[in-house]
Every structure is written in structure tokens, then in C-alpha cells.
Chain A
């Protein structure tokens, strides 16, 4: 059990997402950085889809109401447990009464606080993710507030090893283009409807992530993209990662809380394997897009899976090693 003691807004309970409900008009939700969530669960020996707290604003503070093992993954910044430094992507045993503080990130933008066994909230439509628009799922269907108390599914003293960490996905799966964080993109249905200059500029230019970016979508800023002719299309199904270009020519990337349909032309889609990179790209930072084929998009998913398997294998080995006292 933990209690939120900071007043910072917009932290939510998230898991791998609510898949299979788009047909009912229910969006996907889920962690913006799925790799950070997966690694946090591996560090704690949690079930694969266990829920965690996604933290987009800092400082963030919680008090442990009882002993509980925890891991902090995702954005790296100054973190402390009762004043003692906590390293990024690290698992620790917290004791009753201890306070965990997460400071402003120096890399990445969203941190994940994972608890042993996962955050214990009831699943709705097969997921514990918070559906903000529908006001259900997660913790009472809303963002966390000061004084909220959340239970871990497996509190107490950890039976598995604690006090170790892993190499972050941003290091193990680094992807940059001219020193700028990059994401791979598949061209989508209306790609050819934009003039060649715009298409070329999309791949060659830096794109700034504007302040109007959140779990619903990211608004980008760059050279406006120009269609060959005005495009009018009916609303159709869209998924997280879809890059739409509204009339102003500044692209919008749909993210985890996107509504399930829209009518803007679709220029491309950030591949599923790289959505976590976007989830960690801070407001005001610049990103680049790399043209990618369908087989390459699948290979990228394999790369992510291999990284997670290797982390899981090493943690299993560490679990078997004789425990060391201090």
C-alpha cells in the first residue's frame, strides 16, 4: 500500500492496454512506454501485464504505508528513497513509512513506479489501465490525487532479489538520426496525397514536440505539409501511432488515449516497436522520422522482444545466485 503525497497532476495507473475494444469505441490506453513497464515487471518478478503508475510530471512523492518491493523505470532523474539515492531502472525493498521522491527527469519524460505483484485495481474490459475519457479503469477512472492510497498485489518483504538494475532500453536499443532521437515510420494511406517536397521534408527535417502533447496525441511543429489537392475523407478507425495531417499542415501523432476514429488524412504510422521512444520524448524536444518497411517494422518488434528476453534471462540467473548480505 502506498499513499500519494505530492500534488502533481496526471499520474495514472496503466498496464499493457485495453486491446480488443476499439470496436466499441473504447481506446487502447496503456503505458506510453511499454518497455519501461515490461522491464519494471521483470525486475519485480511480476506477471507480464501487471499495472504500474505512469508519472509524467515531477516532482512526485509517495509514502509506503507497508513494506513493499518496488522498481522505478522509464525517465531517469534524481530519485531518492528516504533521502538515499536510487539509480534508474532499479528494484528496491521499501520499508513501512519510507518516502520515495522522483525529481525532474534528466533523460526521458515518463517514469513508471512498479510495485511487487502490480498495482491492485480491478480490471475493466480486460485491463487495469485508466481510461480518462470514459472515466473508468485504473484508480476510480481518474488521475491520481494527493492522499490516494493504492495497494500492491504482493506487498511485504520480497522473496526475490532486490537492489539491482538493468541497462535501460534507451541505451540497449538506442536509435538516433544526426544525434536526434528517431522513430521509424511506415507510410500510410494518404502518403502520396502530399507534395513531394513535403514528403521529403518529413524524413529530412527535425520535428518539435509542442506543448500541446499528452497521452491523447502529440502535436508536432515544423515546415507545414502541403497536400497535392484538398483532402476530404470520412472518419475511419485509427490506432496509436497514426500520423494525421490536419488543414494547418502540422502533423498530429495519435497516442495511447487517442479516440478510436478520426477523419484527417493519414501520412504515416510510427511503428508499434518505436512508440515507447515517442512516449519518452519530452515536450519541446526534437525528433526525426526514419522511413521503414513492413518487414523492418516486424524486425524492430523482434529486437524489443529479444532485449526483454535477455533481461528476463539475466534476472532469472541473478535470482538463482546465492543471496549476498551486506
Chain B
């Protein structure tokens, strides 16, 4: 990993307001921490006025896929019912595919991003209307 790459990472951290990053790969361990009074939490905070609406968010960086590359149909569409733990989208990182699973059962009220969109950590992908 070059100094330029580390500088780029630091710029990204400050741009998105994250407090730090820990990176591990074979032979490399990197910890970057910004001096901040308090670190902005990037957990999902759902609007209290819409208690029944929950955002389904990414848990990593990558390219958002709404269908599997080997399957023509989308994993889930608007107005579809989802079970808790059902795969609603995939994050592609190179040749790797990581699942985005619904945190709760409900109905998909809105798909917020397009197939192929590049996403960061914690981005809202879909709005889920919870049954309760």
C-alpha cells in the first residue's frame, strides 16, 4: 500500500465524516484515526414520525446488484413481501457477492438505488414497511 493510497483513504474519511478506519490484508495492517471530539455514528437512525418505515442499509462498500448475475429476475421488487433474513440485494466486490438481508419481515415500499450503483457503508438501499 502506497503513501498516496493512505492519503486518499484519509481524504475519503474526512469527506464522509467517519472517525477512523481499520484495514487488514495479507502483509498490511493499517489504522487511521481522525481527531474528533465525538465520532458521528453511522448506524441507521429511522425517523420517529414513520415508525413503521425501516431502511435496509448496506454493510459494506461495493456495487449494488438487485438481481443475481446468473438469474434474470430481481431478488425483490417494490410492493413485494419479504421475510426476515431474506436476501433483497447483493453487494459485489470484485468477483465476491455479499448478501443484503432484510432485518425484519414486511413490505418493500421503495427501492431507493439502481442496479449497478456504487454504494458506501450504511447507505439506504430500500424502504421497508414493517407490518406491526
Contact = CB atoms under 8 A, between A and B. Distances in A.
A167 B92 contact: yes
Contacts of A88: 68, 70-71
B97 A171 contact: no
Contact of B98 (A106, A164, A311): A164
Interface in B68-94: 68-71, 85-87, 90, 92-94
Interface stretch (A25-33, A189-197, A317-325): A317-325
B96 interface: yes
Contacts of A106: 70-71
B18 to A, nearest CB: 16
B85 A167 contact: no
Contacts of B96: 164-167, 311, 314-315, 318
Interface size class of B (residues with CB under 8 A): 20 to 34
Contacts of B85: 84, 326
A324 B95 CA distance: 20
B99 interface: yes
Contacts of B98: 164, 318
Interface residues of A, number: 30
B84 to A, nearest CB: 9
Contacts of A166: 95-97
A17 B70 CA distance: 27
A69 interface: no
A233 interface: no
A318 B101 CA distance: 17
Contact of A310 (B69, B87, B94): B94
Contact of B68 (A87, A310, A316): A87
Contact of A168 (B69, B90, B93, B94): B69
A88 B71 CA distance: 9
B15 to A, nearest CB: 23
Interface string A135-177: 0000000000000000000000000000111111011100000
A166 to B, nearest CB: 5
A211 interface: no
A326 B103 contact: yes
Given A310-B94, A314-B93, A315-B96, A171 B70 contact: yes
Nearest to B24: A320
Contact of A314 (B86, B90, B94, B99): B94
Contacts of A87: 68, 71, 87, 90, 97, 99
Given A315-B96, A324-B59, 11 more contacts: A76-B70, A164-B97, A164-B98, A165-B90, A165-B97, A165-B99, A166-B96, A167-B69, A171-B69, A307-B95, A314-B94
8 contacts: A76-B70, A76-B71, A85-B86, A89-B70, A166-B95, A167-B96, A318-B98, A326-B103
